[in-house]
Amino acid sequence: MESFFGYIGALCIGLILGLTGGGGSILTVPVLVYLLGIPPVTATAYSLFIVGTTSGFGAIRNYFKGLVVVKTAFLFAIPSFIAVFLTRRFIVPAIPDTIIKTSFLTVSKDTFLMGFFAVIMFLAALAMLRKKVDCDVTVSEPGKNNFLILIPQVFLIGMVIGMVGAGGGFLIIPSLVFFAKLPMKKAVGTSLLIIAINSLIGFTGDLKNLDADWTFLLTFSLVSVFGIFAGIYLNKFINETQLKKGFGWFVLLMAIYILLKESFRL
């Protein structure tokens, strides 16, 4: 039964990514951990593969609709995928199994990662619940100064993606809008390509330390890919603003649930 609901979760991940262009990937780790019983460290690695594969298919679909700016995507992706790879290859394995141990409090690596993930979910929910900004600006080439300012920010985003295994679209899209001056629809499409590059390259940083169940990974990803194509199709029939608001509240409640659940393990 848990496996059944896990695959329903996979479908929802792709569906939400297709409908909103972001946000669905934030569900991947909770689905893997709480519905399928996968350890958090492994779940964040699996999530990178699942999110990367699903976003890649979404990016291809948006490319043929003229909604992906490839040059900007690679300019953004280079510093961030370096950060994701380094985080997965060196930082995550270096985190001790027990971070804090006293007579009153014990914080394990798994609890730390899920707590950090919940904080990121909370911020993602706030980003989705904020009033939508009018982003119908003219596409222009990002200036040199913009990218000099942006590189440290994008590198930090990459580290966050590497730690939690989520796509980071809620962080990438505002950067594309305000620094690269892309209209919202192109920012969403371009973000999917960046997420795919970051996640899949970041996943390679785990291969040395990961005994992956490829049958499960490919099956789960296939269901999620089906969901993203269904979401892209349904997008024209659904009010995106109301959907994002409803999903934002769901993510907020999920973040609170994870924080409460993990706090009982302390």
Are the CB atoms for 258 and 118 separated by under 8 Å? yes
3-state secondary structure 198-262: HHHHHHHCCHHHCCCCHHHHHHHHHHHHHHHHHHHHHHHHCCHHHHHHHHHHHHHHHHHHHHHHH
Q: What is the pLDDT of residues 76-88, one digit of tens each?
A: 889 998 998 899 8
Per-residue pLDDT at 146: 60
Are the CB atoms for 248 and 132 separated by under 8 Å? no
Q: Answer yes or no: is pLDDT of 5 > 80.
A: yes
Q: What is the pLDDT of residues 196-246, one digit of tens each?
A: 998 898 898 888 888 889 999 999 999 999 998 998 788 778 776 777 778
Q: What is the pLDDT of residues 20-37, one digit of tens each?
A: 666 667 889 999 999 999
DSSP state, residue 131: P
Contacts 24+ apart (CB under 8 A), 89-95: 89/205, 89/206, 89/208, 90/205, 91/159, 91/162, 91/163, 92/41, 92/44, 92/162, 92/163, 92/206, 93/209
Handedness of CA 216, 219, 224, 225 (dihedral sign): positive
Q: What is the pLDDT of residues 6-20, one digit of tens each?
A: 999 999 988 887 776
Q: How many angstroms separate the CA atoms of 224 and 222, rounded? A: 5
Domain ranges, ordered by start, for the chain: 2-263
CA 228 to chain centre: 14
Q: Is the pTM of this model over 0.85?
A: no
Q: How many angstroms separate the CA atoms of 52 and 200, rounded? A: 5
The answer for residues whose C-beta is within 8 angstroms of residue 216's C-beta and 6 or more apart is none
| Average pLDDT of every residue of the chain | 84
Better-scored residue on pLDDT, 147 or 117: 117
